[in-house]
Structure 1
Amino acid sequence: MSGAKARFLTISDTQIAYRQRAGSAPGLVWLAGYKSDMLGTKAEALDAWAAERGHAFLRHDYSGHGESGGAFKDGTISFWLEQSLGVFRAFTEGPQILVGSSMGAWIALRMAQELNRAGEGARLAGLLLLAPAPDFTSELVEPKLTAANRRQLEDMGYMEEPSDYSDEPYIYTRALFEDGKRNRVLDGILDTHCPVHILQGKADPDVPFTHAMRLTEHLPADDVTLSLIGDGDHRLSRPQDIALILRSLEGLIERSV
């Protein structure tokens, strides 16, 4: 676990925890998945790599995650996007590579849209998307909802599902589903104006590899590489997966120079 203590930035009255490593550009910005935090295996491996190579590295916890304040049930893609952009703008300089895992890849794609819309597209040196789950609420979760799930969402405003990654169940709120529709990225052309490398396991039980293939169809103007890992799962945290992530990162850095 990283020895650096978390620091905090207040965004919309919520304390957002972050860790920052100074270094050269392009810097790396980690965007974790749903119910994941900034001290996971992949984030720690990136931190060690950045320390060894002298690159800047920034990571944070979304509200309701890890060391950040706020309730998980209050979180939406829009809130977590706002927090990610806030941390990015406050603590990075020069070109950055966004490394997004699962839901973090959705956040990364939305960040690219918002940065380009604001005239800040030059800040992006590349996107490294790991088991990307853009639009997962409407594309991956909603189609599998049972009648009991839908009743929970209607009656309580949220539903619970067992998780393979935590002792605590996953919670999905009605607000998350509704907000997810407002943040869809798979309904038009995505133009990030930077190289994109996608790593996707073919044995991923949560995000089918066809979802990553579909994502590439929405990136026709970008330099996109899709690497399929035959026996890769959703975590992509095995030593061989970490090694591939770091090689892919090195490739993006070489293309950005």
Structure 2
Amino acid sequence: MPDQLSNAQPQFLTVGEGEAAREIAMLVRPARAGNGAPALVWLSGYRSDMSGTKAVELDGLAADLGLACIRLDYSGHGLSGGSFSDGTISRWLEEALAVLRHVAPDRIILVGSSMGGWIALRLAQELARTLEGPKLAGMVLIAPAPDFTSELIEPNLKAKERESLAERGYFEERSQYSPEPNIYTRALIEDGRKNRVLDGIIETGCPVHILQGMKDADVPHAHAMKLVEHLPADDVVLTFVRDGDHRLSRPGDIALLLSAVKGIIRSSTNRQMPA
């Protein structure tokens, strides 16, 4: 496989002002000269970063096809500054928007995993609302978790967790993927309500391909089906992986992801061609 920028040094972008300023790390692969296809944009999940398996494989695909690829770490994640406990959907959305406007690709395909799927959907709304920034050519969402704070966490809170939120401002939950517990703050949950997308029609204006494991213990596959109900105006494909977990990082899962991204690239190219 061609060079995947394994030795590339991250760039840093200051987002926010004063006490809210934080340094956001990003890895930007330029497109091959003359390649006008959309740039691929990786959006990680909660507590994940741009060096994960799926992110690196996506960058490898960009290298193979001569595409631009943009990866970033949200504040409190990976190489970026800022405190994880200060993180909210609004804050991480602001950072993703800032990176896109800084790099300034003409067209993009958003590839979002878990919470990154929520960020992708909010990005689509913000780009359409402001008419500033790149044009959205497509989305691939992996085990998307839009509104997970209000849809998946709040309804299942135990009395002890509610008490911790009220008294300490956060609660902890054992993680399957790390020895460190997941931390969910009151600010994250309250801000999540302001960023809900599953309360009306979501108009992305582009094709969407959703990949969802049916053995996902974190985001049930019914959640993906609910998301599809809110995307009635778009070209949406939902692919279930019968034995797939939340990460969908096995070789077969990665092949499925890359195939979905290639399909969106072909679709965007066909739509650009004159009738």
Q: For the superposition of Structure 1 and Structure 2, which TM-score range results when normalised by the shorter chain?
A: over 0.9
Q: Aligned-residue CA RMSD in angstroms?
A: 1.1
Aligned to 1:235: 247
What's the secondary structure of 1:213's corresponding residue?
Answer: helix
Question: Of the candidates 147, 152, 168, which is equivalent to residue 164 of structure 2?
Answer: 152
Q: CA deviation at 1:157?
A: 0.4
Give the structure-2-normalised TM-score.
Answer: 0.92
1:15 paired to 2:27: no
- The match for 1:6 is 10
- For residues 215 and 206 of structure 1, the distance between their equivalents in structure 2, rounded to whole angstroms, comes to 16
**Identity score, percent:** 62
What are the Cα deviations for residues 157-185 of structure 1, in whole angstroms up to 9, with x where unaligned? 01111100111100000000000000000
Q: How many pairs does the alignment contain?
A: 257
Match of 1:47 in 2: 59
**Alignment map for 1:88-99 (pairs within 5 Å):** 88-99=100-111
Deviant stretches of 4+, over 6 Å = none
Contact 1:32 1:104 (8 Å CA) reproduced: yes
Instruction: Measure, in 2, the Cα distance between the counterparts of 1:236 and 1:92.
Output: 30
Counterparts of 1:13-162 in structure 2 under 5 Å? 13-23=21-31, 24=35, 25-120=37-132, 123-162=135-174
Give structure 2 stretches of 5+ with no counterpart: 270-275
| In structure 2, distance between residues paired with 1:141 and 1:3 | 38
* Aligned residue identity for 1:4: A
* 1:170-185 aligned within 5 A: 170-185=182-197
Choose which of 233, 251, 254 in structure 1 pairs with 2:263: 251
Distance, in Å, in 2 between the alignment partners of 1:77 and 1:92 is 22
Question: 2:115 and 2:39 mapped to 1: Cα distance?
Answer: 21
**3-state secondary structure, aligned to 1:52:** helix
CA distance in 1, matches of 2:110, 2:58: 12
- 2:116 and 2:214 map into 1 onto residues whose CA distance is 19
Question: Does the 8 Å contact 1:121/1:193 carry over to 2?
Answer: no
**Could you say what secondary structure the match of 2:92 adopts?**
helix
Cα offset, 1:122, TM superposition: 6.4
**Length-normalised TM-score, structure 1:** 0.98
Q: Pick the structure with greater CA Rg.
A: 2
